[in-house]
Chain A
Amino acid sequence: MSEEFKIEIVNPEKSFLVKDDVSEVVVPAYEGEMGILKDHISIISFLKPGIIKILSKSGNESYYIEDGIVEFKNNNLSILTSSIFNIADMDKSKQQDLLKQAEKESGKEEISDQSRYLIDQKIEVLKTLN
C-alpha cells in the first residue's frame, strides 16, 4: 500500500499547486508545527506565518506562507492561503520587501496582540530565510 496522499494548495486567484504523490507535509499550524502523514485524522486548523514543507516522490518543495487554513480529510489535504511564495523562486530582494513590509506593520501602534504576534512571527521566519 502506498503511503502517499493528495495535496492541493489554492489561493484566491487560482489553484496554486496540486500533487498526488506526497508522503509528508509539515505545516506551521497555529499551535505549532504539524506534520501530516497519510491517514491522519480529519482536521481543520489555521496557519501562522511560516514554511510549508512538502515531501514527495517527485522532489521536495518548501513554500513561505503568511496565513491560511488547512483542512485534511479522506487523505486530501487542502491548504487555503492568500499569500504563498515558492522559496526556490524567492530572491533576496523579495524577501527584503516582505520583511520591510512586516516591520512597517509592526511599527504601527494600534494593532491587536494577536496580529502583533503574527507579525512578529512573520519577521522571525523571514529573517531565518536570509
Chain B
Amino acid sequence: MASLDDLKKRIASVKSTQKITKAMKMVAAAKLRKAQESAEKGRPYSEKMNNVILNLSSGISDKENAPKLLSGTGNDKVHLCVVMTSDRGLCGGFNSNIIKKAKSYFSKILSEGKELKIITVGSKGNDQLKRMYGDKIIENISFKESKNANYFDADKVGKIVIDKFESSEFDICTIFYNQFKNVITQIPQAQQIVPLNSEDGEDNTSEESYEFEPDEDEILSNLLPKNISTQIFKAMLENSASEQGSRMSAMDNATRNAGEMVDKLTIQYNRSRQAAITKELIEIISGAESL
C-alpha cells in the first residue's frame, strides 16, 4: 500500500493535470466559437461557387470538349488523396478518424490495383501515415505558422493539386477531412474534387438561361481551378472547427476523469490516514493496559 506521502503527491499531480486540461478545454471552447463562425461565414462563397458551376456545366454545349477538371481524364488509374489533419494532438479521435477513413479508402484502391499518391496537410496525418504509406506520400504540407485557416493557404494546396493535374500525375483526386456537425460529432468525409462530382446537384439547375461573357468554356476553365481551392478551403474551415470541437470534448472528458481520480485518491488518503491513527491509538491503549 502506498504511503501517505505518496498519495499526497499523486493527488497534487492529478490536480495539476486537471488544471491543464481544464485550461485547454476553455481555450478550445473559445477557439471553437471563432472557427465555427468562420466556417459559417465561409459557406456562402462555396455555395455560390457551386451554383455557378452547376449552372455553367448544365449550359455547356458539347460535353466532350469540356475542361478536363470537370469531366475527368477518362481514366481512373492514379488516385491522389489529400488527407487533411491537424498540426496538434490532444484532440481525441479527430485525427485517427480521418486516418481510419483514409486508410480504408487506400486499401480499397490498392486492392483494385490502382496507383495511389498521397498529399498530407497537417503534420499529425503525416506522422500516422508515413509508417504504412511512406513511399506513397508525395507531398507534406503544414500550416503551423498560420493561426487560423485562411484562403491563402488553401490556395497553395489547390495550386499544387492543379499543377499535378495539369502535368497528368493523377486522374482522380479526393480530399479527406472532418465535417463539423456539433461539438460531440464530427463526421470524416471523403470528397471527390477532380473530376467534379456533379451527381448531387443534377436536378436543381435552373431552367433560366444565362448569358455568358466570354463563353462557357472559358469561364469554366477559369472557374474550376478556383473551385478546387474553394473546396479545400471549405474543408480546412470544417476541419479547424472539428478539431477544436473534438479537443474541447476530449479535454472535458479528461477534466472529468481527473476529478474522479482525485476523489478516489482522496478517499484512499483519508482511509489510510485514519488507519494510521487507529493503529497508533491501539498501540497506546494496549501499552497502557499492559502496565
**Interface residues of A, Cβ cutoff 8 Å to B:** 8, 10-15, 29-31, 34, 41-46, 67, 69, 71, 73, 78, 80, 82
Contacts of A43 in B (CB 8 A): 210-213
Q: CA separation between A17 and B151, bound complex, in Å?
A: 18
Determine chain B's interface SS by DSSP, over half rule: helix
Shortest Cβ-Cβ A-B pairs, 5 listed: A14-B41, A12-B151, A45-B213, A43-B211, A10-B45
Contact A44 B44 (CB under 8 A): no
Bound complex: CA of A34 vs CA of B46, how far in Å? 25
Cβ–Cβ < 8 Å partners of B12 in chain A: none
Other-chain contact of B213, A13, A31, A67, A73 (Cβ < 8 Å): A31
**B38 (CB) vs chain A CBs: closest residue:** A13
* Complex: A69 Cα to B49 Cα, angstroms: 9
Given the known A-B contacts A12-B154, A45-B213, are A71 and B38 also in contact in the complex, defined by CB atoms under 8 Å?
Answer: no
Contact of A69 among B41, B46, B52, B229 (CB under 8 A): B52
* Nearest B residue to A45, CB-CB: B213
B150 and A13 contact, CB distance less than 8 A: yes
Q: A13-B41, A69-B223 are in contact. List 6 more A-B contacts (CB 8 A).
A: A10-B44, A12-B151, A14-B42, A44-B213, A45-B219, A46-B219
Partner among B45, B209, B212 whose Cβ is within 8 Å of the Cβ of A80: B45
**Once the chains are docked, how many angstroms separate the CA of A109 from the CA of B247?**
46
CA distance A82 to B223 in the complex (A): 12
A68 to B230, CA, bound (A): 12
Provide the bound-state CA to CA distance between A69 and B213, in Å: 11
User: Is the CB–CB distance between A42 and B44 below 8 Å?
Assistant: no
Cβ contacts under 8 Å, A15 to chain B: 41, 44
Contact B45 A44 (CB under 8 A): no
B155 contacts chain A at the CB level, 8 A cutoff: yes
**A residues less than 8 Å from B212 (CB atoms):** 43-45
Kindly provide the distance from the CB of A50 to the nearest chain B CB, expressed in whole angstroms.
15
Judge whether B210 and A44 touch: CB under 8 Å. Answer: yes
A42 contacts which of B41, B48, B210, B223 (Cβ < 8 Å)? B210
Given A30-B214, A43-B210, A73-B210; A80-B52 close (CB under 8 Å): yes
Task: Tell me the complex Cα distance, A94–B54, Å.
Answer: 36
Q: Residues of B contacting A80 with CB < 8 Å?
A: 45, 48-49, 52
Name the CB-closest residue of B to A68: B226
1/0 contact trace for B207-247 toward A, CB 8 Å? 01111111000010011001001100100000000000000
Task: Tell me which residues across on chain A come within 8 A of B223, comparing CB atoms.
Answer: 46, 69
The CA-CA distance from A44 to B216 in the complex, in Å, is 9
Q: Does the CB pair A31–B214 fall under 8 Å?
A: yes
